[in-house]
């Protein structure tokens, strides 16, 4: 997208390009043409940029004479044969990676541009939605990684997830988990049900220790679960877990064997949005009376977290399916004014912006810039109106995305579903560790 003015809450200017004079000179003069259009390399890019201005509600920035009679772009021509070949190649790779660019016809339509922007967002590329040699190179690298082929530099796969103190994760089964401690590859969590547990960043490994309702447990992991990482198609890992449970009654000891494999990419839709994921399937065998279990994880590298988990048992009635609803970033060191400011920006965006619109928030109180992209609207079972959104936080050369869901309550406030009855159901940030 073209760079927008660094204005905190002005939605109109946040999505319109800035390379135009504040006062437009007479129509037809050279300076009346936005710099973005005047510097475009050829008519093909000019047409794309003009379409972009129109689609974002910025058509007033187009210079006089850009349209011919009938509303068509003046001098518009079909893309060259080379451009069509590049576009068709990009469409084919995007489709294989699980995106939805439409038919590989070589035409740069809305579906193709949306698929490109989504891929760019997940690979830290500028989100311009355009086909280019740089895009094709990045697509080829992603395809090599997806197939588990290519050199080590091309097929490194997804890295282990990392977490931040205070971040809160909300799930479709009502479970809410907050990060309360970090120790290398281990993360300590607290749930809204009063439980605490320690987990490995490798999500296929069961909790390492926990305390719940007067009982506590510890697990010893043997084998090489880390062989699954970096995560890419074809990776496999096997390991054994020995569990000791203490508390009510005498101690219990169990043994489980897990066999896991990464099957490849899968594009899935969950409560919090649509994600390109890596599908990991694990089979569990036990030495005690328990139905066999197949657990399927869908890990989204773009946000560094699992967005869906399915448990399949011998008895279908016991099957369990859980989806990620929302992530609320931790910001315990933020001043109150900055916390409130981001909350205001998010509520305003949810209330007023169209699907797919992007706005930006910043504050002098924190060294963070936040892009907010609006997603789909939907109605919950209780008839509350909800919307998905994606926050992308940028600071010190780093970028991290947090999917979210906000629902409007009876008072017109936007809150995270599942946190409405807590001490802080706001959609912005969490203090997390109190």
| pLDDT tens string 106-140 | 998 999 998 898 888 777 688 889 999 999 988 88
Q: Are 245 and 233 in contact (CB under 8 A)?
A: no
The rounded distance, in Å, linking the Cα atoms of 276 and 257 is 29
399: tokens are 């970028």
Question: Helices 133-147 & 81-96, crossing angle to 10 degrees?
Answer: 30
DSSP state letters, 299-362: EETTTTEEEEEEEEESSGGG-EEEEEEEEE-B-TTS-HHHHHHHHHHHHHHHHHPPTT-EEEEE
Nearest to 31 by CA among 65, 63, 74: 63
Percentage of residues in the chain having pLDDT higher than 70? 75
Nearest to 326 by CA among 212, 172, 128, 124: 172
Q: Are 164 and 179 in contact (CB under 8 A)?
A: yes
The rounded distance, in Å, linking the Cα atoms of 88 and 117 is 16
> What is the value of pTM for the model shown?
0.70
Percentage of residues in the chain having pLDDT higher than 90? 48
CA-to-CA separations, 408 to 320, 339, 415, 420, in angstroms, rounded: 28, 19, 6, 10
Q: With a cut of 70, say whether residue 11 has pLDDT above it.
A: no
**Per-residue pLDDT, 99:** 82
- The CATH number corresponding to 168-327 among 1.20.1090.10, 2.40.360.10, 2.60.120.1140, 3.40.50.2300 equals 2.40.360.10
Phi/psi region, residue 157 (left: phi>0; alpha: psi -120 to 50; beta: rest), is left
Convert the pLDDT of each residue in 286-338 to its tens digit.
Answer: 887 778 899 999 999 989 999 999 999 988 778 999 999 999 998 778 898 99
Convert the pLDDT of each residue in 332-368 to its tens digit.
Answer: 788 989 989 999 999 999 999 988 888 999 999 999 9
Residue 156, judged by CB atoms within 10 A of its CB (0-12, 13-18, 19+), counts as: middle
Q: Are 307 and 280 in contact (CB under 8 A)?
A: no
Q: Determine the average pLDDT of the residues in 277-294.
A: 89
* C-alpha torsion angle, residues 64, 67, 70, 76 (rounded to 10): 170
The rounded distance, in Å, linking the Cα atoms of 424 and 403 is 18
Phi (first) and psi of residue 417, to 5 degrees = -60, 135
Beta strands in 196-251 (DSSP E): 196-200, 209-212, 215-223, 236-246
Mean pLDDT across the chain, nearest whole number? Answer: 80
**Per-residue pLDDT, 18:** 41
- What lies within 8 Å, CB to CB, of 289 at 6+ separation is none
Q: What is the three-class DSSP state of 21? A: coil
**Per-residue pLDDT, 153:** 33
**Per-residue pLDDT, 23:** 39
Phi/psi region, residue 303 (left: phi>0; alpha: psi -120 to 50; beta: rest), is alpha
C-alpha distance across the termini of the chain, in Å: 39
**Per-residue pLDDT, 181:** 96
37: tokens are 């259009």
Considering only residues 48 and 94, tell me which one the structure prediction assigns the higher pLDDT.
94
Reported CATH class of domain 81-147: mainly alpha
* C-alpha torsion angle, residues 17, 87, 399, 233 (rounded to 10): 170
Q: Are 139 and 164 in contact (CB under 8 A)?
A: no
Convert the pLDDT of each residue in 397-410 to its tens digit.
Answer: 788 999 999 999 88
**Per-residue pLDDT, 16:** 47
The rounded distance, in Å, linking the Cα atoms of 61 and 36 is 10
Nearest to 149 by CA among 235, 242, 237, 244: 235
Of 61-70, 93-102, 197-206, which range is least confident?
A: 61-70
Residue corresponding to tokens 């995305």:
401
Domain spans, the chain: 11-71, 81-147, 168-327, 330-415
Of 58-67, 318-327, 366-375, 405-414, which range is least confident?
A: 58-67
Enclosing H/E stretch for 94: helix 81-96
* C-alpha torsion angle, residues 230, 234, 240, 241 (rounded to 10): 60
Give me the residues paired with residue 283 across strands.
259, 294
Q: Determine the average pLDDT of the residues in 6-14.
A: 35
Question: Helices 81-96 & 110-122, crossing angle to 10 degrees?
Answer: 60
Q: What is the three-class DSSP state of 427? A: coil
């Amino acid at each position: 997208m073209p760079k927008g003015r660094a204005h905190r809450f002005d939605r109109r200017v946040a999505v319109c390009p800035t390379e135009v004079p504040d006062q437009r000179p007479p129509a037809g003069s050279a300076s009346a043409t936005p710099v973005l259009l005047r510097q475009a390399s050829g008519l093909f890019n000019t047409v794309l940029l003009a379409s972009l201005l129109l689609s974002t509600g910025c058509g007033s920035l187009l210079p006089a004479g850009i349209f011919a009679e009938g509303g068509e772009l003046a001098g518009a021509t079909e893309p060259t044969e080379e451009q069509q070949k590049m576009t068709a190649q990009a469409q084919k790779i995007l489709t294989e990676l699980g995106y939805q660019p439409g038919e590989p016809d070589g035409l740069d339509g809305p579906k193709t541009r949306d698929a490109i922007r989504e891929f760019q967002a997940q690979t830290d590329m500028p989100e311009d939605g355009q086909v280019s040699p740089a895009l094709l190179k990045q697509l080829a690298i992603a395809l090599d990684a997806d197939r588990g082929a290519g050199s080590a530099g091309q097929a490194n796969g997804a890295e282990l997830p990392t977490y931040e103190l205070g971040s809160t994760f909300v799930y479709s089964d009502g479970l809410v988990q907050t990060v309360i401690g970090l120790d290398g590859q281990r993360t300590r969590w607290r749930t809204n049900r009063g439980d605490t547990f320690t987990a490995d960043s490798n999500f296929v490994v069961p909790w390492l220790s926990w305390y719940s309702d007067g009982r506590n447990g510890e697990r010893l992991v043997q084998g090489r679960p880390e062989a699954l990482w970096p995560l890419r198609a074809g990776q496999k890992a096997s390991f054994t877990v020995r569990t000791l449970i203490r508390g009510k009654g005498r101690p219990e000891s169990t043994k489980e064997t897990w066999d896991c494999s990464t099957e490849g990419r899968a594009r899935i839709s969950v409560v919090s949005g649509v994600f390109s994921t890596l599908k990991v399937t694990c089979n569990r065998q036990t030495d005690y009376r328990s139905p066999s279990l197949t657990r399927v994880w869908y890990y989204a590298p773009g946000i560094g977290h699992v967005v869906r988990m399915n448990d399949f048992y011998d008895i279908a009635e016991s099957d369990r399916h859980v989806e990620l609803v929302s992530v609320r970033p931790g910001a315990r060191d933020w001043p109150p004014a900055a916390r409130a400011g981001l909350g205001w920006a998010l509520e305003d965006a949810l209330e007023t912006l169209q699907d797919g619109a992007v706005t930006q928030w910043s504050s002098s109180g924190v060294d963070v810039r936040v892009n907010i992209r609006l997603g789909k609207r939907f109605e919950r079972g209780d008839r509350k109106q909800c919307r998905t959104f994606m926050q992308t936080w940028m600071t010190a050369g780093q970028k991290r995305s947090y999917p979210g869901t906000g629902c409007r309550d009876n008072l017109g406030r936007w809150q995270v579903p599942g946190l409405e009855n807590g001490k802080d159901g706001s959609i912005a940030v969490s203090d997390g560790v109190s």
